[in-house]
Amino acid sequence: MAPTSTPQTPFGRVLTAMVTPFTADGALDLDGAQQLAAHLVDSGNDGLIVNGTTGESPTTSDAEKAQLVRAVVDAVGDRAFVVAGAGTNDTDHSLELARAARDAGAHGLLAVTPYYSKPPQEGLFRHFTAIADATDLPVMLYDIPGRSGVPINTETMVRLAEHPRIVANKDAKGDLGRASWAIARSGLAWYSGDDMLNLPLLSVGAVGFVSVVGHVVTPELRALLDAHLHGDVTKATEIHQKLLPVFTGMFRTQGVITTKAALGLQGLPAGPLRLPLVELSPDETEQLKRDLAAGGVHL
């Protein structure tokens, strides 16, 4: 049974978008995934996103996605929300993934804006509605126009929020003004999907984070959130500023690449990447070490 949710925090407050560990020969590493999931929950995560962008979802098969959900639910599903990425740019395929994630035990779905096709807002509305209608699981939208090419406009957010199972949004739009209006008008639970903007988004009404840097600094993210919730703006700002080198360093290149490198430096399961992603160069690895050390991460 999943942890108890509330309308304000349907998936908890601190979630990490988990990488998908692979073995040395590139196969799915289910044992490693369970170990990593347990480590992240032990570190303070309320939930994990699996099969998202950071999980290399573009290069994992449908069967691998279902196996991964099942393994992570078995490992931590009684202690943390397991939210499965189910969004693609093909609505019918997304419905298949949503149902497979439900059957594998996921507690919720993450639905990214359809990429590449650049659908109009009505197409987005119908796509997300179809995903929400496909199962009885709660849905978190994922608004990331830098990857998808199309933003979810505020009016569309407001319409989608009327659906009883569309309960949250992961915001990687990078626009605090639009976020402010969408939070106020939609009532969706708002999660920061851009680590550099975690604190600013809290200030305009976000309830928590879907983080990449949570792989290495979950306790600090939790402390930042708790400080903000208790009105200690000075402490929250201090933690935010301390983490700036981590935020910067983990996104000097594609985030999956640096995250797997950071996990490897800490002796945690990660493994290689699948093409077209490639490992950090030796110089890039040294820079990552410097960035993490500057942010207080011990390797």
The pLDDT, as a whole number, for residue 161 is: 98
Return d(Cα 144, Cα 112) in angstroms, integer. Answer: 7
Which residues of the chain, if any, have pLDDT below 50? Answer: none
Distance CA 179, CA 141 (A): 13
* H or E element in which residue 292 lies: helix 282-294
Is 257 part of a structural domain of the chain?
no
Per the DSSP assignment, residues forming a β-bridge with 54 are none
Q: How far apart are CA 262 and CA 180, in angstroms?
A: 33
In a domain, 218, yes or no: yes
Q: What are the residue ranges of helices labelled H in 77-190? A: 91-103, 121-134, 145-148, 154-160, 176-186
Q: Provide the pLDDT for residue 93.
A: 98
Q: What is the reported pLDDT for 51? A: 98
195 within domain boundaries: yes
Q: Is residue 186 part of a domain?
A: yes
Evaluate whether 191 touches 163 at the Cβ level (below 8 Å).
no
Report the distance separating Cα 217 and Cα 21, nearest Å: 19
On whether residue 277 sits in a domain, the answer given is no
Which amino acid is it at 109? L
Question: Which pLDDT value is given to residue 245?
Answer: 98
210 known ligand binder: yes
pLDDT number for residue 299 = 82
- Which pLDDT score, from 0 to 100, does residue 1 have? 67
The pTM (predicted TM-score) of the whole model is 0.97
CB-based contact 141:173 (threshold 8 Å): no
Nearest to 137 by CA among 85, 93, 64: 85
- The 8-class DSSP code of residue 9 comes to -
Q: What is the CATH number of the domain that holds 198?
A: 3.20.20.70
- Six-digit token pair at 72? 């992570």
Residue-level pLDDT at 17: 98
User: Which distant-in-sequence residues (6+ apart) come within 8 Å of 69 by Cβ?
Assistant: 50, 51, 82, 84, 100, 101, 104, 105, 106
Residue 295 Cα to chain centre, angstroms: 21
What single-letter amino acid sits at 43?
Answer: S
Q: Hey, what long-range contacts does 260-268 have (CB within 8 A, 24 or more apart)?
A: 260/19, 261/285, 261/288, 262/215, 262/216, 262/288, 262/292, 262/297, 263/19, 263/36, 263/215, 263/216, 265/289, 265/292, 265/299, 266/216, 266/299, 268/35, 268/36, 268/39
Question: Annotated catalytic sites, by residue?
Answer: 142, 170
Given the structure tokens 């939210």, which residue do they identify? 83
Examine residue 239 and state whether it is found in any structural domain, yes or no.
no
Q: Is residue 122 part of a domain?
A: yes
Do 73 and 104 contact (CB within 8 A), yes or no?
A: yes
Residue 270 lies inside a defined structural domain of this protein: no
Cβ–Cβ under 8 Å, residues 276 and 253: no
Measured CA to CA, the distance from residue 205 to residue 180 in angstroms comes to 7
Using the Cα atoms of residue 20, residue 25, residue 30 and residue 35 in order, give the sign of their dihedral.
negative
Q: How many domains does the chain have?
A: 1
Domain span at residue 156 reads: 14-232
